[in-house]
Structure 1
Amino acid sequence: MSAPRRTAQAIDALRHGWAISVAGSDDILHLLPVETALSAPGSQRLLISAARADTLKLTNQAAAASGPDAPVCMSVTGGLSGDLARAIADPVLDMRHPMKGPFVAETPCDSSAAVAALDLARRAGILPAFYILNAADEDTLTLNAADIADYADPVHLQIASHAALPVEAHENAQIIAFRSTNDLREHVALIIGTRDESTPLVRLHSECLTGDILGSLKCDCGPQLHEAMAEMTDTGWGILLYLRQEGRGIGLINKLRAYALQDQGFDTVDANNRLGLPTEARDFAIAAEMLKLLHVDTINLLTNNPEKVESLRTHGVDVAERKPLKINANRHNARYLNTKKTRTGHQL
């Protein structure tokens, strides 16, 4: 079985609550996902992220064992029920279950296998936390840490389908769907207006169910989407790249967990990190590949995020001009927009 196929099957296994084994450079970890598995009878050990270890006050022990930013293998004195494991894994439950422990951070915790396993959990859209099992069953899927790291690189995209799609912003529009050989998410491009020799106005828009569809006031995604399409209509033609990277790449369910943490007082950056997830987990190389398949190599980019400009240029797209996207704040998203400006470098 090929490495990409093993990795894809491992993602599916984690979403179903099945065990996997990850082989690192010096060791192998037999793991069961805390979120989706009912329990792990007999297990008293967990693999958690460095950020979650910090929340649980294991930072000093973890730094002594594996370094301050390394994943942590921890043992739980007195047994580990499914409810306790989920309370340890999910910081949203901290207010409901404030007293947990005592815990011990162990050494060694194989770094390459642990890092790869936590990245795999993010790709599966589940909490980055695992029961550590003593042994694997005969049918447990085993994969290498290096295979997980290489899973999304390079990007293997192809155009799968296209059709005319009149939209509110412009009746002359076409939608093009892209399929990847190593990603279950299908991205789309909406070409607005009639293509000509001028430089197109392009928007990279990451999927946001709550903002784009439900009209959430907690973010600015929905207004940005509609304003971008309107500006493309005004300029003659443009390309909206709709990327299936919900919650800046952490997935819908984890995004809603981050929302719950924001309700407890954390900003969007701290909420993601408290979950053990990165502040930014999107892959803008996908957008560059989509533009290449559309035979577009020079663009005017509609964005407030300089990281998008840099990423596209790094991957071979000439960004001739960055154009700002101006959206008015409301009382529900003012703090979110301020966090974008002060902590993630958005030019608002």
Structure 2
Amino acid sequence: MSQPDATGSQERLSGTVPRSVIAVDRAIGDLRRGQLVVLLGTSACAVARSTEFLGEGEFAAMTRVPGGALRIVITGPRARALGVDTDREVVVFRLSPEIAPITVQALANPESGVPAPELHRTLEADDLAVGSVQLAKHANLTPAAVLKPLGLPPDAARAWAVERDLLAVHVQELQRYGAEGDFNLRRVSSAHVPLEAAQDTRIIAFRPVSGGTEQIAIVVGEPTPDSPVLVRLHSQCFTGDLLGSLRCDCGDQLRGALSAIAEAGSGVLVYLAQEGRGIGLVNKLRAYTLQDDGHDTYAANSVLGFDDDERHYRVAAEILRQLGVTRVRLLTNNPEKIAALTRFGIRVVERVRHRFEPTPHNREYLEAKIRTGAHLP
């Protein structure tokens, strides 16, 4: 297998991180700490807070910010789960200053413990509304936010944020974050790690130059680009991979893929940091609670406000390229993985079936993946 070019391109190995990536990463951290973030749009600005951190004091503080009326932004799937007839990506509702914070949380999170109020009139969803949901998703929080328009132009809003020690981020930076954040990788470590299923194994760690979460390639044997390489793209699953959860087949798929690659003599398993089909561990546990109430795995994500599948595979294609792999035999039942690798320049010459016997605990989950997720039988 070819090794990454140590000289590399200036863009890839210089360590230079786009300012937009730095700004969004800092905004993610502030949002996860429950702080306000100032969002700058093309012509308007607002302060945003995650609904997960909306207590009495936080809500009262937002009502005192000078500007327009408070509003909540939720996703289209969440709005439809609340009975709103909409096909929009995000939906915005005006909030009364007298509304209780727990009621606001009920609009965003079905676990709030109180019924959500009826919703009628929606407001126009501008770039600030879309950006607030994008930021919440990047932060692995409930995909919703409370906004308070500032009534200031961007330059004045940025100065307002600086005076109050708040971070300001432009919505265009949020839009570029997906393209600039996690896909510019460099190899940072490699070690020989004998595995139960494959003793001749190296684990290679790749780190985004943005400083984001590391991604892992598990290389078995010595794959050669002269012929298609047996590859598995595996999204991490703490409960299935590590704890042996019976709710899914992730542990079976992980260990089964390593065994299949070892039996083939060589191959690569790309282990992607995309827990819960990209919604994060906490939201996955919330989805489990909804599944216990009768929702399937996709409907539960929708009730929480997420799309059926929030994952991306561009980072997987980049890892394969850096390993010198451009043609693969892909262990998968998911047609989207085939389509995604193809879009990003990796040729899938064969789909290798990767299915295991269901259990009483995961049968409905597996049936939903075929019924709703269009997985191959």
| TM-score (normalised: structure 2) | 0.84
- Deviation of 1:144 after TM superposition, in Å, equals 1.6
Pair 1:189-2:201 in alignment: no
CA contact (8 A) 2:342 2:348 kept: yes
CA contact (8 A) 2:78 2:306 kept: no
Aligned to 2:203: 175
| TM-score (normalised: structure 1) | 0.91
Pair 1:107-2:123 in alignment: yes
Pair 1:213-2:219 in alignment: no
In structure 2, what is the Cα distance between the partners aligned to 1:27 and 1:70? Answer: 20
Alignment counterpart, residue 75 of structure 1, candidates 94, 97, 110: 94
Matched to 1:221, the amino acid is C
Pair 1:281-2:310 in alignment: yes
Aligned to 2:327: 298
Summarize deviations over 1:41-63 as a string: whole Å, max 9, x none.
1545322222222233343xxx5
Percent of pairs with identical residues: 35
- Deviation of 1:193 after TM superposition, in Å, equals 1.9
In structure 1, what is the Cα distance between the partners aligned to 2:144 and 2:360? Answer: 35
Aligned to 2:52: 35
Out of 260-269 and 34-43, give the one that drifted further. Answer: 34-43
In structure 1, what is the Cα distance between the partners aligned to 2:303 and 2:118? Answer: 20
Alignment counterpart, residue 15 of structure 1, candidates 13, 25, 32: 32
In structure 1, what is the Cα distance between the partners aligned to 2:202 and 2:275? Answer: 23
- Deviation of 1:340 after TM superposition, in Å, equals 0.6
Aligned to 1:145: 171
CA contact (8 A) 2:44 2:149 kept: no
Aligned pair in 2 of structure 1 residues 53, 236: CA closer, same or farther (>3 Å)?
A: same
Aligned to 1:160: 188
Pair 1:25-2:54 in alignment: no
Aligned-residue CA RMSD in angstroms? Answer: 1.9
Alignment counterpart, residue 75 of structure 2, candidates 49, 68, 89: 49
Pair 1:122-2:137 in alignment: yes
Aligned to 1:89: 108
Out of 72-81 and 220-229, give the one that drifted further. Answer: 72-81
Matched to 1:51, the amino acid is P
Instruction: Give the 3-state SS of the residue equivalent to 1:240 in structure 2.
Output: strand
- Deviation of 1:18 after TM superposition, in Å, equals 0.8
- Deviation of 1:140 after TM superposition, in Å, equals 2.1
- Deviation of 1:301 after TM superposition, in Å, equals 0.7
Matched to 1:107, the amino acid is L
